[in-house]
C-alpha cells in the first residue's frame, strides 16, 4: 500500500491545512496506539519551539491517553533527544512535533520506536490504514495518564557528553552557537558551556514564530559573520529540530555535512574503529568519495533522505553516514541523526589532534556542483531512451570520471532536479543548463 501521509521524514505540512490539524493529530495518535500499543503502554512526546506545537502536543496527548497510553511530555527538545529518551525509558513510542528546517507556519509529526529508530515503511503503512477509524476512547479505569517530564534536557545533555572520550574538555575554545531559535536553544549552549567552552549564542531566543528565520543550518550567514566578528575559533549552526548542523572555521568558511563526514571518517579510520563503508547519498559531493578512496575508505551512495542512508548502513555494516545538509549518522554513538553529538565528535577530533577545523578539512577538495530545479507539467520517465537520455549520456562522456550527472524527480512537487558536478565551475554550469533545457522541453 502506498503511503498517503508519511513522507521520508514523517508527516509534514502547513498548519491548519489537512493533515496538519488538531483533529488529524488526535486520530493519528489513536491509530499509532492501535498498531504499536494496543493494550496500553508509554509514549514520549517532544517538540520544537513553533507556536503550533502546543496545539499538536495537546491533541496527541488526548489521543494517546484516550487509547490507554501513559504520556510523558518532554517539552522543547531536539529530535535526537526524544529518540534517546524513548530508548532510555523503554517507552513503546516516541513522538516528535517538528517541521525541522521549515518556517514556523509549517509543522510535522514523526515517530520513533522503542529502540530510538524511525519507524519502518511497513509500520507507517499500518498506522495509515487505521486513520479512517474513529479515535479510541476507553472507559475511565483504562485511560492513560499524562505528566510533564522535567528532567529531559538534563538527561539528554548527560547522554551527549557521554559520547565523548572520558575527561575530554573544551576549555579555551570560543564557539559561536546558532540554535535557529529551535529545539536545541537550551541544551546545546548548556552542554558546550559545561564542557568549558566560551559560548557566543545566536538564534537562542525563540518566540514561537522566529524558528529558522534568518539563522540556523540552512541560513548560516549570521553565524559565519559572528565567527569572524568576535574572533571565535569556530561556529556551529543547528536546524530547527537539532538533528543536523553545519560549521564554520575561524575565518567563517562554511564546513558542510560532506566535509564533517570526511573529518569523522578519517579520525575513526586512523584509530581503527571505522566499520563498513561510509554512506552518503546521490547528492554527496564527489570530492568526499575521492578523498576517502585515497585513504582506502569505502564509500557507497544511497537515495536522498536519512532513512535511506540508515538502511544502507545497516545493510553494509557501516556506522558513519550522512548528507551534505549536515544530517550525520554516527551509529557507534547514537541511533539517529544528532546535531549536538556530531558537533561534539568533531570538537573531540580537534581537541585530540590539536588541529583547527580548517586544517582537518583541507584534505578534501569540494567539486563545484550546480543544481537546477525544472518545473514540468507531466511526469517524465528520466531513464527512458530518447533525447533526454542522450543529452545526459553526452555530458557524462564529457565529464568522464571527473564529474557526475544526477536527475531526480521530486516526490512532492512537479519538479525535476538536475545536478551536475565536475572540476570546472563554468563547465558544470553550462552542462547543467543544457540538460535543464532538454528536461523543460520534454515536460
What's the start-to-end Cα distance of the chain, in Å?
28
DSSP 8-state assignment for residue 120: P
| Cα–Cα distance, 289 to 402 (Å, whole number) | 11
Question: Residue 189 corresponds to which cell in the numbers above?
Answer: 549552549
| Cα–Cα distance, 224 to 221 (Å, whole number) | 5
Does the annotation count 100 as an active-site position? yes
Annotated catalytic residue within 30, 98, 100, 180 = 100
| Cα–Cα distance, 5 to 12 (Å, whole number) | 8
| Cα–Cα distance, 408 to 397 (Å, whole number) | 19
Listed residue (246, 215, 208) closest to 48, CA to CA: 208
| Cα–Cα distance, 270 to 24 (Å, whole number) | 50
DSSP 8-state assignment for residue 142: G
| Cα–Cα distance, 214 to 306 (Å, whole number) | 24
Question: Residue 266 corresponds to which cell in the numbers above?
Answer: 578519517
Q: Which residues are catalytic?
A: 100
Amino acid at each position: 500500500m502506498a503511503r498517503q501521509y508519511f513522507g521520508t521524514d514523517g508527516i509534514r505540512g502547513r498548519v491548519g491545512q489537512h493533515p496538519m490539524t488538531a483533529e488529524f493529530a488526535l486520530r493519528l495518535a489513536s491509530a499509532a496506539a492501535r498498531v504499536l500499543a494496543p493494550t496500553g503502554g508509554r509514549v514520549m512526546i517532544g517538540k520544537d519551539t513553533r507556536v503550533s506545537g502546543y496545539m499538536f502536543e495537546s491533541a496527541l496527548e488526548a489521543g494517546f491517553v484516550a487509547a490507554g497510553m501513559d504520556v510523558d511530555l518532554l517539552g522543547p527538545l531536539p529530535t535526537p533527544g526524544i529518540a534517546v529518551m524513548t530508548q532510555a525509558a523503554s517507552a513503546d513510542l516516541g513522538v516528535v512535533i517538528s517541521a525541522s528546517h521549515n518556517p514556523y507556519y509549517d509543522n510535522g509529526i514523526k515517530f520513533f520506536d522503542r529502540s530510538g529508530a524511525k519507524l519502518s515503511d511497513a509500520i507507517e503503512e499500518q498506522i495509515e490504514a487505521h486513520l479512517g477509524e474513529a479515535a479510541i476512547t476507553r472507559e475511565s479505569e483504562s485511560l492513560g495518564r499524562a505528566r510533564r517530564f522535567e528532567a529531559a534536557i538534563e538527561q539528554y545533555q548527560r547522554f551527549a557528553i557521554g559520547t565523548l572520550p572520558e575527561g575530554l574538555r573544551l576549555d579555551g575554545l570560543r564557539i559561536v552557537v546558532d540554535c535557529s531559535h529551535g529545539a536545541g536553544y537550551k541544551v546545546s549552549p548548556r552542554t558546550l558551556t559545561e564542557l568549558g567552552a566560551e559560548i557566543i549564542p545566536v538564534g537562542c531566543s525563540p518566540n514561537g514564530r522566529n524558528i529558522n528565520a534568518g539563522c540556523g543550518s540552512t541560513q548560516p550567514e549570521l553565524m559565519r559573520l559572528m565567527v569572524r566578528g568576535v574572533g571565535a575559533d569556530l561556529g556551529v549552526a543547528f536546524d530547527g529540530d537539532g538533528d543536523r548542523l553545519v560549521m564554520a572555521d575561524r575565518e567563517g568558511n562554511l564546513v558542510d555535512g560532506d566535509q564533517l563526514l570526511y573529518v569523522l571518517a578519517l579520525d575513526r579510520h586512523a584509530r581503527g574503529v571505522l566499520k563498513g563503508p561510509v554512506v552518503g547519498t546521490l547528492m554527496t559531493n564527489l570530492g568526499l568519495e575521492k578523498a576517502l578512496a585515497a585513504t582506502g575508505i569505502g564509500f557507497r551512495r544511497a537515495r536522498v533522505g536519512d532513512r535511506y542512508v540508515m538502511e544502507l548502513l545497516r545493510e553494509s555494516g557501516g556506522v558513519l553516514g550522512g548528507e551534505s545538509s549536515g544530517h550525520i549518522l554516527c551509529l557507534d554513538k547514537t541511533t539517529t541523526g544528532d546535531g549536538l553529538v556530531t558537533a561534539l565528535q568533531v570538537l573531540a577530533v580537534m581537541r585530540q589532534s590539536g588541529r583547527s577545523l580548517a586544517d582537518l578539512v583541507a584534505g578534501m577538495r569540494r567539486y563545484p556542483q550546480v543544481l537546477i530545479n525544472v518545473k514540468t507539467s507531466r511526469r517524465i520517465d528520466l531513464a527512458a531512451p530518447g533525447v533526454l537520455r542522450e543529452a545526459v549520456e553526452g555530458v557524462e562522456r564529457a565529464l568522464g570520471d571527473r564529474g557526475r550527472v544526477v536527475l531526480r524527480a521530486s516526490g512532492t512537487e512537479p519538479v525535476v532536479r538536475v545536478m551536475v558536478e565536475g572540476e570546472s565551475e563554468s563547465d558544470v554550469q553550462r552542462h547543467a543548463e543544457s540538460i535543464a533545457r532538454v528536461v523543460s522541453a520534454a515536460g
